[in-house]
Copies of this chain bind each other. A is one copy, B any other.
Amino acid sequence: MNERDVIARLRRIATDPAARGLADDAALLDGFVITHDTIAEGVHFLPFDPPASIGWKLVAVNLSDLAAKGAAPRAALLSMAIGDPDWDEAFLDGIEAACESYGIALIGGDTIALPPGAPRVLGLTALGEAGERTPARSGGKPGDRLWLVGTLGDSAAGLALLRAEPKASGPLVDHYRRPVPLLAAGKALASEACAMMDVSDGLLLDLDRLCEASGCGADIDLDALPLSRAFIAERGQHRKARLFAATGGDDYALLAALPAAVDPFSLSLPNPTTMAVIGTLAEAGGIRLADAAGPVELPETLGYEHHRF
């Protein structure tokens, strides 16, 4: 039973409509959008990452799932491995700062001690209030325009900097450590999106999931991917850099399939919102990449398999 088998087995267990087939960012139960993410030291964060940023990020990545469903954050339950007093205090500083920033109430959870030397494991369950519409990953149709809110590659570039130099700093490192969930944009887009999800594991991998859920393929214009100035300064914007940005992960951008007739700039988006059309959904047949020079072969690795469901 490999990871795909585990997910397949979980999907066979999860037959309730609230589960959305475990093929979405979150569950939808009686008006609550509910998600859970667990992160582990050495897998999802670096042992030397500042604990306050890990606390912040744990909240933010869950809220990004709520953002992708257009939900308003409401409450969270925290699962926390404790042990090192200074670390724990700083981690809770980050949890508290993120909860305050996004108006989410900590309402419960569990603290556990792990055996000595075990990597830290931290989890958060977030509940949000569903809006009028809660777009799934599965509603996309051929011809829908694919909009990307946010920028790509910053976090992966920041992580690469940190791997080379643990004391690295700057906007790319900030993006890796303190992602910002795009709650207001998600709420605005949810009113019109046929399908929506957050881009957390790499654009191409997440797009592949949206395509699979929607029974579509996609044509993507690599030149259209929104890149930040900091990213371009660090990595450039040639094809290789764009493929890095499209597969790096930890972006917490939003990917929305909108009918071609909808102009998302007519929605009440926060100002400024970085948003671009990066392609269109097509009939089933996989993802096709192109840039100004012509077709681009799909990379072997589409993103980072966090095993999220």
Structural contact, A74 and B29, CB atoms closer than 8 A: yes
CA distance A308 to B88 in the complex (A): 16
Structural contact, A125 and B77, CB atoms closer than 8 A: yes
A191 at interface (Cβ–Cβ under 8 A)? Answer: no
Chain A 50-92 near chain B by CB (<8 Å), digits 1 or 0: 0000000000000000000000001101111110011011001
Q: Residues of A within 8 Å of B, CB-based: how many?
A: 68
- Using known A-B contacts A75-B27, A119-B114, A125-B36, determine if residue A105 contacts B19 with beta carbons closer than 8 Å: yes
The residue on B at minimum CB distance from A33 is: B108
A270 at interface (Cβ–Cβ under 8 A)? Answer: no
Which stretch from A5-13, A211-219, A242-250 is at the chain B interface? A5-13
- Using known A-B contacts A18-B107, A110-B123, determine if residue A77 contacts B115 with beta carbons closer than 8 Å: no
Which stretch from A39-47, A136-144, A155-163, A276-284 is at the chain B interface? A39-47
A121 at interface (Cβ–Cβ under 8 A)? Answer: yes
A96 at interface (Cβ–Cβ under 8 A)? Answer: yes
> Which of B5, B32, B75, B123 touches A38 (beta carbons < 8 Å)?
B123
A261 at interface (Cβ–Cβ under 8 A)? Answer: no
Structural contact, B32 and A32, CB atoms closer than 8 A: yes
CA distance A78 to B34 in the complex (A): 12
- Using known A-B contacts A42-B115, A82-B307, A307-B113, determine if residue A36 contacts B106 with beta carbons closer than 8 Å: no
What are 22 residue pairs bridging A and B, where the CB atoms are less than 8 Å apart in the complex? A3-B82, A5-B89, A6-B80, A6-B88, A10-B92, A10-B111, A14-B105, A16-B106, A18-B75, A29-B75, A29-B127, A34-B75, A35-B77, A36-B109, A36-B123, A37-B110, A38-B121, A38-B123, A40-B121, A43-B112, A43-B113, A114-B121
In addition to A13-B92, A19-B107, 13 A-B residue pairs with Cβ atoms within 8 Å of each other are A3-B111, A7-B111, A10-B92, A14-B108, A16-B107, A18-B105, A26-B108, A27-B107, A34-B125, A35-B108, A82-B307, A110-B307, A111-B307
